[in-house]
Structure 1
Amino acid sequence: MSEEQIEQQIQEKGLTAPRITPSHIDSKVKHVYYHSPLAAIDPEQAMDEKTYQTLRCLTFCTIVLENGFTVTGESACASPENFDPFIGKEIAYKNAREKIWQLEGYLLKEKLYQADLDKQF
Structure 2
Amino acid sequence: MNDNDQKYEAIIAALGLPGPRVTPAMVEEVLAMVAYDTRVIPGTTTTIAVAILPSGFVLATGMSACAARENFNPALGIEMAISKARDAAREAIWKFEGYRLSQALYEVRQGVAGSALRQIRSVLSVKGLPDRLVGVEQIKACLATTEGYTPHEVRVIHEKAELDDKADSLMRFFNSEVFPVLPKDERDRLSAQWRAMGVYSSILAERIAAFRPVPGSQDAGASQ
Structure 2 length as normaliser, TM-score?
0.40
Matched positions, count: 106
Structure 1 length as normaliser, TM-score?
0.68
* 1:14-33 CA-partner distances (Å, limit 9, x unpaired): 11211101111122242321
Task: After the TM superposition, list the runs of 4 or more consecutive aligned residues in structure 1 that deviate by more than 4 angstroms.
Answer: 77-84
Q: Please, which runs of 5 or more residues in structure 1 have no aligned partner?
A: 42-46
Q: Which residue of 1 aligns with 2:104?
A: 111
Q: CA RMSD in A?
A: 2.7
Q: Is residue 73–residue 94 contact of structure 1 (8 Å, CA) maintained in 2?
A: no
| Structure with larger Rg | 2
Q: Which residue of 1 aligns with 2:177?
A: none
Q: In structure 1, which of residues 37, 62, 72 is the aligned counterpart of residue 51 of structure 2?
A: 62
Q: Which residue of 2 aligns with 1:2?
A: 4
What is the identity, as a one-letter code, of the residue corresponding to 2:53? V
Q: Is residue 61–residue 96 contact of structure 1 (8 Å, CA) maintained in 2?
A: no
* 1:33-76 CA-partner distances (Å, limit 9, x unpaired): 141234xx4xxxxx3xxxx22x2xx33131315x5533122134
Cα–Cα, structure 1 residues 68 and 77, in superposed 2: closer, same or farther, change >3 Å? closer
Q: In structure 2, which of residues 31, 36, 51 is the aligned counterpart of residue 33 of structure 1?
A: 36
Ranked by relative contact order (alpha carbons within 8 Å, sequence separation 6 or more), the top structure is 1
Aligned residues with identical type, % of pairs: 23
2:48 is paired with a residue whose SS is strand
Cα–Cα, structure 1 residues 5 and 115, in superposed 2: closer, same or farther, change >3 Å? same
The structure where strand makes up a greater share of residues is 1
Q: Is residue 39–residue 49 contact of structure 2 (8 Å, CA) maintained in 1?
A: yes
Q: Is residue 34–residue 61 contact of structure 1 (8 Å, CA) maintained in 2?
A: yes
